[in-house]
Structure 1
C-alpha cells in the first residue's frame, strides 16, 4: 500500500489548552518533560466528594462550565489560525466542526434547584449559557459563512469531529475546515455523576499518581479540562505558499459502535478492533507502518484491558510502543480526541513519543510496551490515535508525516 493516501487532508494549524498550560509548544515541551497537570481542585469545595482532584484550566475563574468551554475554544481557534494565510473568501468558505458537551451542566443544576425550591423568587439566568452558542462564536472568529456542525459521541466527540471534517473535505464540500474540541465541565455535579458509576480514581491522598494507564492497580480516570483546534486544508487545492507550512496529514479514520453495554466493551473487543482496522484501511496502511499508538488509555480497569486486547489483535506480534496523554492531562471527555490529535501530530513533527506517567506497576497481562520517558523515534511516519466513548462509540484516527 502506498505510504501517503491521496485522500489525505493536511493539518495547517494547531491550538491547544490543557491542565499543562496554554499554547501548543508550551504544552508539548511540558509533556516531553514529564509534567503532570493533575492536582487537588481549588476552584470549588470538594470535601464532600469522592474524587477531589483533576486537571483543570484555571485561567477563567468565576465562570460557568459553558462559558469556560467557550472561552478556551476561542483561544485555541485563534492560535490555530494565527499563522494562516487564508484570504477572506477562503475563510468564508471554511467548514466548522465542533466536538463539545451537548448541554450546559450549570443549566441542569440550576433547573433542578429551581424544581426543589419553595422560593418563588429564585433567580435563574441559565438560558443565557447554552453550549450550542459555541458554534456561533467560533464562526465569528473564523469569519465563515457556514453554520457550525456540532458533534457529540461522548468521549469520542473530538475525534468524531475530525472524522466528519475529513469525510466532507474528501467529497469536495470544503477545501478548508476548522475542527474544535472543547470541554471545561469539571464541577461537583460531573465529578459526582462519574463517581456514582465507579469511573473515577479516588486516590485523593496522591492526585499526581492517580491517572495510571495500563497499571495493574489502576482504579479509574481523572477528569480533565481543555480544548484543541486543528486547521485542515485540501493539499491539492490550496495555494503553494500555504502548502509549504503544512504540519502533517490526517490520512485515515475509522469508527464502530458497540451496543454491548453503556460503559463496557464487548468481551471479544470486536468493535474496538474494527475501529482501528477501518482507520488503517482508510489510510491505505498495513499495521506494521504505524510507529506509535496514542491510546485512549483512561486508567480504568475495563478500558485499558479491552483496548490492549484490541491493539494486540490488530498488530499481532508487532505491537508498536504506546502512551496515554491522560496520565498528564486527565480525561478531557468530549475534547479528549482533539487534544490527543494535536499531541499525536507533535510526535510526528519532533519524531518523539511523550511519556506515560505513573507506569510503576505494569499490568503484565496486557502485553503492551508503554513509553515511560520521552522517546526519540527516528523516521516516525504514522501515528494511530484512539478515542472510545461511553455508549460504545469508537473512533480511531491515523496521522501521517507530510510527503
Structure 2
C-alpha cells in the first residue's frame, strides 16, 4: 500500500492574470496583477472594492466550449471545464478511459451566480428553472466530468479555501493506494454577489490592492479562477514515457478548531498541517526551499500563518511569498491556482514576488520575496487555509 509516487503530468489554469498557463507565468514574471474595479457583476459595492476578475462574459466562455444556447452551465462550471481541458491537453491524454481515471473538483460558490440572478423568477419563468439543478456544488463537477468523458470516479470537495488543496491530497492518496491510476484534481469558483456580500459583511475586504504580510494590510481582494492538475502514478508515467512536471511529495490536513472564520493566534491548524506534510514527504523543514503562503492579507490570517511558519521552521524560515496580490483570493480554487504557481517555480527555479509589501508585521518581522528571484528549488510548500478551521499543506518536488 502507498507505493506509487504521484507524478504531475498536466496543468490548466484560468485566472485574472491570464487564460492560459503561459499568460499566467508571463504576468507573474512581469509583476502584472489582475486586481481592478468590478466589471461583470451588478453590485452596489462596485466602486467600493477591487477584485481579481476574468474579463470574459459567460457567453464568451460558453462559446469557447461550443455549448448549445440553452445550456445551464454556471460560471463556476464554465471556468472549470476550460481549465480542466487545458490540463488534459498538456498531459497528452486522448483516450481518457484507457486507465482508471477520476475527477476530484472543488468549489465554494457552485452555481450561486445563476441562482442569485434567477431565483425571483423561478415560479413564473420556465427558462429560469433550468438553473435550479446547477446550483449545488456537485453540478460543476458533473459537467466537467461529462465534458472530459470521465466515468470511473468523481467527487466534489467543499472545505472553503482549502478545498483544492484537499482535492490534490485525496487524488494523491487514491493513486498511492492503487485505487486509481490517474486523477484530475483542482478547483473552480466564479465571482458572485453572494461571496462579495458575505466577505463584505465580515469586514475583511480591501478597497485597494491587497498587501499580504504587510504591517498596514487592510484585507483581501476576492478573485475568480479555475485550475486543475493531472496526477498519474509513477508506474503509469514510466510505462508511457511521459514528461513529469513535478511530484506531489507530501500533504497534511488539520483543523484549527478555533473559530468559524478566524484562525487561532498561534496558527495551530496551520502548524499541524505543515508538520504532517513534512512527515508524509519524509523530509526535514530545512529541505523546503520556498513557501507559497496562503497570505490573504487579512490582519488575522497573515499573523496566524506567520506564527505557524515560525513554529515549524524556527530561525531559518525559507524564502516565502503570497501570490494572492496577483489574482485575489480565489476561494476553493486557491489551492490549485497556487499549486500551479508552485510547480512553475520548481520548473523555472525561481520564486514569485509578494506584491505591495513595504513594512514587516511588527510581531513577526518576516520579509517575503518582493522580486522575481532565481534560486535552485527542490521542494516547494504551498499552504491553503479555509473557514471552519480546515488547514491544508501540499509539498511539491522536482520532476526527476
Q: Please, what TM-score do these two structures have when normalized by structure 2?
A: 0.90
What CA RMSD, in Å, does the superposition of the two structures yield over aligned residues?
A: 2.3
After TM superposition, the structure 1 stretch with the greater mean CA deviation from structure 2, 27-36 or 97-106, is 97-106
Partner of 1:129: 134
Matched, 1:233 2:238: no
Deviations 1:253-294 (A, max 9, x none): 001012210111222322210000000110011000000000
Deviations 1:11-63 (A, max 9, x none): 00010110001111210121111111000112134444584320011223468
2:191 pairs with 1:195: no
Q: Does 1:84 align with 2:84?
A: no
Check the 8 A contact 1:102/1:152 in 2, yes or no: no
**Structure 1 residues 56-65 or 275-284, which shifts more?**
56-65
1: distance between equivalents of 2:228 and 2:11?
6
Q: Which blocks of at least 5 consecutive residues in structure 1 are unaligned?
A: 204-209
Q: Deviations over 1:168-225 (max 9, x none)?
A: 11110011111131111x233321111111121133xxxxxx2100011111110001
More off after superposition, 387-396 vs 99-108 = 99-108
Task: Indicate yes or no: 2:44 matched with 1:38.
Answer: no
1:307-326 superposed Cα distances (whole Å, 9 cap, x missing partner): 00000000011100111110
* Deviation of the 1:103 alpha carbon: 4.1
1:289 aligns with 2:293: no
Corresponding position of 1:71: 78
Q: Distance in 1 between matches of 2:195 and 2:276?
A: 33
SS at match of 2:229: strand
Q: Which residue of 1 aligns with 2:304?
A: 306
Is 1:221 the counterpart of 2:232? The answer is: no
Q: Is the 8 A contact 2:110 2:189 kept in 1?
A: no
Structure 1 distance, partners of 2:53, 2:349, is 28
- In the alignment, the residues of structure 2 paired with residue 253 and residue 226 of structure 1 have an alpha-carbon distance, to the nearest angstrom, of 23
Confirm or deny that 1:254 pairs with 2:274: no
CA distance 1:199–1:237, shift in 2 (3 Å):
same
Shift of 1:110: 5.4
2:349 and 2:222 map into 1 onto residues whose CA distance is 28
Residue 108 of structure 1 and its aligned partner are, at CA, apart by 4.8
Match of 2:262 in 1: 264
Distance 1:313 1:146, change over 3 A: same
Residue 143 (str. 1) matches residue 149 (str. 2):
yes
Q: Distance in 2 between matches of 1:35 and 1:145?
A: 39
Question: Aligned pair in 2 of structure 1 residues 7, 306: CA closer, same or farther (>3 Å)?
Answer: farther
Unpaired runs of 5+ residues, structure 2, are: 63-71
